[in-house]
Structure 1
Amino acid sequence: MSERELRQRMSEHGRSLYERGLTAGSSGNLSVRLPDGILVTPTNCCLGRLDPDEISRLDSVGNLLSGKPPSKESFLHLAYYRSRSNEQAVVHLHSTWSVAVSCLADVDPENVIPPITAYFVMRVGKLPLVPYFPPGDEQLADAVAKSARSSRGALLANHGPVIGAADLDQAVYAIEELEETAKLFLMLRGLPTRYLTAEQAANL
């Protein structure tokens, strides 16, 4: 896919996520890996009105090459890519149900959401909790990079989900699956629940 096509796809996905309430205001950011850097959504940008020509192009260490100034969380994306060389796209949102789960005090930090459905296991898998850091704190990059070495997705405490995949379509599908499963997880709290067994999850 050409850079022009990638920019257009980022705009289309941003609008779709915004219109369905998975991101609000100027929250959330998307990125796609290029051979020599990344494309990432600009700072203070509403994903519902993302101009393909204004998407930030950064080199591999985060220097702005073209477009508007990048999201202040672009360092998070670069850290993720350094840890997972096969992933080509990253999505980070402040989606309601996932953020709600990230605020719970009694979750397993090694794997926040248990294996409720097969599709969650296949698209997300293990979901560690990254400790809280203020927005823009570059210590978050180290924490995300560490988490990404063992899992393609993570939940940032009191913040929201981040996940990568082989392309932008797959990354968006994965974060959508995560958001729906977070909703299920909260709906089922306090109820007798049958999760997938370790063997069932491993087989997937």
Structure 2
Amino acid sequence: MMMDSLRTEICRVGRSLFERGYVHATAGNISVRLPDEQGFLITPTDACLGFLNPQDLALVALDGQQLSGARASKTLALHRRIYEAEPQAGCVIHTHSSHLVALSLAGVWREQDILPPITPYYVMKVGHVPLIRYHRPGDPAAAEAAAAAILRAQRSGAPIRALLMDRLGPNVWHDSPAQAMAVLEELEETARLWLISDPKPAPLSDQQIDELRQHFGARW
């Protein structure tokens, strides 16, 4: 996409997330990696994703220097480290989605898998999601922990496309804002299903997951 189109798309996705309750107030941020090493676009700090102005989006160089726009989100370091660790990521979205934050408060399934594989679309569209222990918003240590988790997953042969920041919410990434938003939606919905289910459902079997790998290339 051209720069103007990317700015418009970030605003469209931000408004959609806000209107459907995935973000509230000034929580959450979106960034996009620009082609040809031009840097990144990222939403401003303390901006409401439902009321973004395309020209206010911060343009940031690869080294983190701000080039134009309103002051970049305080989570810029986290976004940059995700892009550095995952070269395929084109967009990163962070939200404070209610069910995922609630899951981190109640206790995740496992530290390396915040949710069990209870639905085929969770396995296919999301995959493994590790928990990143609590750090204050904007703490550089959170960025390093996120990058380390991404690299561990790559070495294991099951790359990830999402993390859950303890008490803060998820970071998800994909090729484009629309695709990253779809990952977020599936992740939040699975957290909702897990929290409301009583008794808790059994995970899919190894055989069922292997079938999803074979037919759909699931990264699990």
Q: TM-score range by the shorter chain?
A: over 0.9
1:43 aligns with 2:54: no
Once residues 111 and 133 of structure 2 are traced to their aligned partners in structure 1, the CA distance between those partners, rounded to angstroms, is 9
Segment of structure 1 superposing worse, 125-134 or 96-105: 96-105
Q: Does structure 1 conserve the Cα–Cα contact (< 8 Å) formed by 2:75 and 2:138?
A: yes
1:171 aligns with 2:180: yes
Amino acid of the residue matched to residue 21 of structure 1?
A: G
Once residues 12 and 76 of structure 1 are traced to their aligned partners in structure 2, the CA distance between those partners, rounded to angstroms, is 23
The TM-score normalised by the length of structure 1 is 0.96
Once residues 12 and 200 of structure 2 are traced to their aligned partners in structure 1, the CA distance between those partners, rounded to angstroms, is 40
2:215 maps to none
Specify every segment of 5 or more residues in structure 2 that has no aligned partner in the other structure, as ranges.
Answer: 154-159, 213-220
In structure 2, relative to structure 1, the CA distance for the partners of 1:96 and 1:45 (3 Å cut) is same
1:111 maps to 113
Q: Does structure 1 conserve the Cα–Cα contact (< 8 Å) formed by 2:30 and 2:93?
A: yes
1:102 maps to 104
Matched position secondary structure for 2:173: strand
Residue 143 of structure 1, aligned match among 130, 142, 145: 145
1:187 maps to 196
Amino acid of the residue matched to residue 174 of structure 1?
A: V
Once residues 78 and 200 of structure 2 are traced to their aligned partners in structure 1, the CA distance between those partners, rounded to angstroms, is 37
| 1:61 shift after superposition | 1.8
Amino acid of the residue matched to residue 146 of structure 1?
A: A
The TM-score normalised by the length of structure 2 is 0.89
In structure 2, relative to structure 1, the CA distance for the partners of 1:106 and 1:174 (3 Å cut) is closer
Q: How many residues align?
A: 203
Matched position secondary structure for 2:142: helix
| 1:192 shift after superposition | 4.7
1:156 maps to 165
Segment of structure 1 superposing worse, 13-22 or 97-106: 97-106
In structure 2, relative to structure 1, the CA distance for the partners of 1:200 and 1:158 (3 Å cut) is same
Residue 133 of structure 1, aligned match among 119, 131, 135: 135
- Aligned-pair identity (%): 38
Segment of structure 1 superposing worse, 146-155 or 10-19: 146-155
| 1:196 shift after superposition | 1.1
> CA RMSD, aligned part only?
1.2
Matched position secondary structure for 1:135: coil
Matched position secondary structure for 1:103: helix
| 1:106 shift after superposition | 5.5
Q: After TM superposition, which residue ranges in structure 1, 4 or more long, deviate above 3 angstroms?
A: none
User: For residues 33-72 of structure 1, what are the structure 2 equivalents within 5 Å?
Assistant: 33-34=33-34, 35-72=37-74
